[in-house]
Amino acid sequence: MSATPFLQAEHLDTHYGQSHVLHDVSVAIAPGETLGLLGRNGMGKTTLIRTLVGHVRPSRGTVRVLGEDCTGERPDRIIRRGIAYVPEGRGVFPNLSVRENLTMAARPGRDGRQHWTFERVMQTFPRLSERLSHGGQQLSGGEQQMLAIGRALMTNPDLLILDEATEGLAPLIVREIWRIIGAIRATGIASLIVDRNYIAVIEHSDRCVVLEKGRLVVDRPSWQLAKDQSTLARHLGV
């Protein structure tokens, strides 16, 4: 892995009004690395993601992409640096067809590469190939999630951020989503994954960090954290 992190946050403090949500959070993701972001509900995971991609401006600290300071930049400018974000709730355009949702996002990657073509997304998500003319609102929750991930890949990102990718989905679809996440990881795209299923996150990541009340309390290789049941019980309530 490169010595320069692809994405790096240092000493972040983030507020919502008078509410102090993130406290001195520092985290980095290397090129090609998959990082699991864990924590109970309300501990600041989504706020951290929203701070990283510019939806929330930190009150202190810096965010860098490949060493370049992008703190406070507009989200679209940060995303253009090679990040794809699949938010909780998916954000599928309901009045556009599956094909239109995908093609409207298509663009070369930061270095001009176009590894993720429409055809490759169809191969990765064969279910979507059967519903190309369907509107976003006509898809099941699982199909919408596949569409949201596929649309993100059409931007040919260096880093894919997934916030609660399997929430509310049927077990069979959940297994399929994790299969797809594993396949994406194998291509060398870096990932930041948030999901309530900590076992699956650990299994599909290289390293995990845990937030508790907006503070980073754990940062370990995933294989090591998987063996530490006392830490999992203390911070995740399992």
Mean pLDDT of 160-187: 92
Banded pLDDT at 165 (limits 50, 70, 90): confident
Quote the pTM value.
Answer: 0.93
Residue 238 banded pLDDT, cuts 50, 70, 90 = low
62-73: pLDDT as tens digits: 999 999 999 989
Section 68-92 average pLDDT: 92
What per-residue confidence (pLDDT) applies to 98?
96
Mind listing the pLDDT tens digit for each residue in 87-140? 887 789 999 999 999 999 999 998 888 999 999 999 999 999 999 999 999 999
Q: Please write down the long-range contacts of 93-96, taking CB distance under 8 Å and 24 or more positions apart.
A: 93/136, 94/135, 94/136, 94/137, 95/135, 95/136, 95/137, 96/135, 96/136
